[in-house]
Amino acid sequence: MLNGEKMLFSGMQATGTLTLGNYLGALNNWLTLSDEYKCLYCVVDEHSITVRQDPAELRKRARNLLTLYIAAGLDPEKNIIYYQSHVSAHAELAWILNCYTYMGELQRMTQFKDKSAKHADNINAGLFTYPVLMAADILLYQADVVPVGIDQMQHLELTRNIAERFNNIYGDVFTVPEAYIGKVGAKIQSLQDPSKKMSKSDENVNASIYLTDDRDTIIRKFKRAVTDNEACVRYSDDQPGIKNLITIYSAVTGKTPAEVEAEFAGSGYGDFKLAVGEAVADRLNPIQAKQADLLANKDYVDSIIKNNAEQANYLAQKTLRKVQKKVGFPERIR
Ligand code: ATP
Ligand code: LTN
C-alpha cells in the first residue's frame, strides 16, 4: 500500500514473441484487475539480459511489448507502463536485497535450474540472482498483489520471505505481496505436446500461438493441435489436448468448461478446433491492429514512456530512501 492506495505490480520479459499463454496467464488478468488497484506494468528489460541478447533486437522487442500492453487495453493514463531500466531504483534495491537472500534459497529455484540447463554455456550470476531483482521490482512499489502465471509462484514465495525477513529486522518497511493466479488460463499447454507449457522459447513454432500470428496462421495451428482419440469434446485429464483447447476457448469467450462441452456436444474435433481458432483470432486481431497504430505514432508513445517513467521513479525513490536509511547508509546532504 502506498499513500493509502492498493498497489498492483507485474511485468514480462522482452524476450521472444509473446504467446497466447502469456496473454491468457498474465496480460488478460492485468486487464480485469486494473480498475481495482493503482497498477504498474513493467517491461523487465533488465531481467532479459540474464540470457544473451542482440542489443537492437532487445530494444525493438521492449518497445513492442510496451505498446502491446497498451494495445491489449491497459490505459497508460491510468496505469504506469514503463521500462525497468528507466528506473534505477530497481537495481539499487536488488543489490540491498541480495544481502538478505540466501544462496540456498536461490539454488532451489526451478526456473534457475531449467534456464541453466538450457544455457549451459552462460550460467551467469544474474541468472542466479534473477528472483532477487524480481523481488525488488515488487517491493519497491509496496505492491499488495502480483498477477502472474502459476510458474512464477516460487518467485513470489521467495519475495514474501525476503520482505518478511527484512521487516523482522527493521520494522514495517515492505508490504508483503500476494500472488494473483487467474481462475482460467493460469497454465496454457503447448499445442504440440499438452504435457508441456506453451512457451515463447519453444523451438517448434506450431506449439505456440504468437500474439503476432495472423488469422490464417492461428486457425491452421489449432487445426494441427495434438488432440486425443476419444473424438468428443470433454474436459477431462484423460484428454489433455482437448482439455487445453477447452481452457483456451473458455478463457477467450468467458464460457465455463461445462458450457463449452454443452455447446459442442455431438461435434467432432474438427468443428471445435475451428471454433477455437476463430475465437482466438477474433480476440487477437484487434490488438494487433491497435499495436500497429501505436508503433506508427512515435511521439505519442515516447511521451507515455517519459511521463510514466517519471511517475514510477517518484514512487520507487520513496521506498528506496526508506530502505537505505534503515540499513544504515549515510543521509544525503541537501
Ligand atoms: P520463456 O518460455 O522464455 O521462459 P515464458 O513464455 O514463460 O518465457 P515469461 O516472460 O517468463 O514467459 O512470462 C510472462 C508471464 O506469462 C508470467 O506471468 C508467466 O507466469 C505467464 N506465462 C508464461 N507462460 C504461460 C503459460 N503457458 N500459461 C499461462 N501463463 C503463462
Ligand atoms: N519473472 C517474471 C517476470 C517478472 C515479474 C516481475 C513478474 C520480473 N519481475 C515482477 C511479476 C512481478 C516472468 O514472468 N518470467
Cell 512515435 found at: 298
Share of the chain above pLDDT 70, in %: 100
pLDDT at 183: 77
Give catalytic status of residue 223 as yes or no.
no
Mean pLDDT for all residues in the chain: 95
| pTM, entire model | 0.92
Sign of the four-CA dihedral 237, 242, 246, 252: positive
- How far apart, in Å, are the Cα atoms of 296 and each of 77, 87, 289, 300? 19, 25, 11, 9
The CATH architecture assigned to 205-293 reads Orthogonal Bundle (1.10)
Nine-digit cell at 244?
487445453
Q: Which residue's CA lies nearest to atom 4 of ligand 2?
A: 11
Lowest mean per-residue pLDDT among 32-36, 162-166, 180-184: 180-184
Checking if the pLDDT of 168 tops 80, the result is yes
CA atoms of 141 and 239, how far apart (whole Å): 42
What's the first-to-final CA gap in the chain, in angstroms? 28
Mean pLDDT of 62-71: 96
CATH class of 7-181+298-327: alpha beta
Would you place residue 151 in the very low, low, confident or very high pLDDT band (cuts 50, 70, 90)? confident
Task: For 201-232, write each residue's pLDDT tens digit.
Answer: 889 999 999 999 999 999 999 999 999 888 88
Checking if the pLDDT of 1 tops 80, the result is no
- How far apart, in Å, are the Cα atoms of 60 and each of 57, 100, 202, 216, 300? 5, 35, 20, 25, 17
pLDDT at 229: 81
- Give yes or no for residue 209 CB within 6 A of ligand 1: no
φ, ψ of residue 197 to 5 degrees: the values are -75, 150
- Give yes or no for residue 26 CB within 6 A of ligand 1: yes
Q: What are residue 40's DSSP bridge partners?
A: 9, 80
- Helix (H) or strand (E) holding 38, with range, is strand 38-43
pLDDT at 106: 98
230 Cα–ligand 2 center, Å: 38
pLDDT at 231: 82
Mean pLDDT of 107-117: 94
Name the residue with higher pLDDT: 229 or 282.
282
Checking if the pLDDT of 111 tops 80, the result is yes
Decide if 308 contacts 76 (C-beta within 8 A).
Answer: yes
- Give yes or no for residue 152 CB within 6 A of ligand 1: yes
Task: Classify each residue of 16-46 as buried b or exposed e, where b means 16 or more C-beta atoms within 10 Å of its C-beta.
Answer: bbbbbbbbbbbbbbbeeebeebbbbbbbbbb
Q: Which residue's CA lies nearest to atom 25 of ligand 1?
A: 21
CA atoms of 290 and 109, how far apart (whole Å): 37
Would you place residue 200 in the very low, low, confident or very high pLDDT band (cuts 50, 70, 90)? confident
Would you place residue 149 in the very low, low, confident or very high pLDDT band (cuts 50, 70, 90)? confident
pLDDT at 185: 67
Domain ranges of the chain: 7-181+298-327, 205-293
CA atoms of 81 and 312, how far apart (whole Å): 9
Q: Which residue's CA lies nearest to atom 19 of ligand 1?
A: 149
pLDDT at 54: 96
Would you place residue 334 in the very low, low, confident or very high pLDDT band (cuts 50, 70, 90)? confident
Identity of the residue numbered 80: I
Give catalytic status of residue 78 as yes or no.
no
Checking if the pLDDT of 272 tops 70, the result is yes
Would you place residue 25 in the very low, low, confident or very high pLDDT band (cuts 50, 70, 90)? confident
